[in-house]
Amino acid sequence: MIFYAISDRNLDKRRNLSLQLRRYIALGADFILIRERGLSDSEIFFFAKKFVPICKSKGIKLFIHRRADIASLSFADGVHLPENSIPISEIKKKFKDLLIVKSCHSLKGILSAQKEGADFVTYSPIFETPSKKGILPKVGLKLLKDAVKSAKIPIIALGGIVSIERIEKVKETGVYGIASIRLFNEIQGKYLKKYKRGIQ
């Protein structure tokens, strides 16, 4: 099972993206997404170029949120697209080497992304989470398990997975991985690192 760390420097008390990304690497993230809506294109490109070689040396895949062009120019591994993005086939035509993760919020969305040619999907929100409260209903473990059985594409569970107890519950569904922002924060990070050592 892989761990997918999603950046949000605003949740870090120092608001330092470089330190946050280095912490994700130290904690053993397998995938990392640079998802910083408040930064300019040039700033996103700067961080991508800086961390691509570091991630590659550790065997970590680095993704850029929405911007396939920045991902390609920085030699990142891929792009993470929202559910309502332009067709994946169009991105694949222009950026053949990029891996594509697509955000999904239903089985229908997952099967559509699979048909379009996505390499991975995130399925969210599994549990209630502050960013989606009142916007999207929680998926729950049963629907997550049903999706894993129904789809062939690797599914990464996302949303409210902020404890080892919840990791264990999600793991039982057979998902490919777990994605989170808050799981990788400074308080919970030490527990995550210990947990990862135990499952290797």
Q: What is d(CA 179, CA 63) in angstroms, rounded to the nearest whole number?
A: 13
Going residue by residue through the chain (200 aa), what tens digit of pLDDT does each one get? 999 999 998 877 778 999 999 999 998 899 999 999 889 999 999 999 999 999 999 999 999 999 999 999 999 999 999 999 999 999 999 999 999 999 999 999 999 999 999 999 999 999 987 766 656 789 999 999 999 999 999 999 999 998 889 999 999 999 999 999 888 875 556 667 767 766 55
Amino acid identity, position 9? R
Residue 32 pLDDT: 98
Q: What is d(CA 160, CA 139) in angstroms, rounded to the nearest whole number?
A: 11
SS3 assignment, position 26 = helix
Q: What is the architecture of the domain spanning 2-199?
A: Alpha-Beta Barrel (3.20)
**Residue spans per domain, the chain:** 2-199
Residue 99 pLDDT: 98
Residue 163 pLDDT: 87
Q: What is the pTM of this model?
A: 0.93
Angle at CA of residue 28, ends 145 and 117, nearest 5° = 50
Residue 197 pLDDT: 67
SS3 assignment, position 63 = strand
Quick one: CA dihedral 135, 107, 83, 155, positive or negative?
Answer: positive
Query: Can you list the pairs that 83-91 forms with residues at least 24 positions away whose Cβ atoms lie under 8 Å?
Result: 83/109, 87/116, 88/113, 88/116, 88/117, 88/118, 89/116, 89/117
Output the CA–CA distances (angstroms, integers) from residue 80 to 1, 55, 90, 101, 160, in the order listed. 19, 17, 14, 5, 19
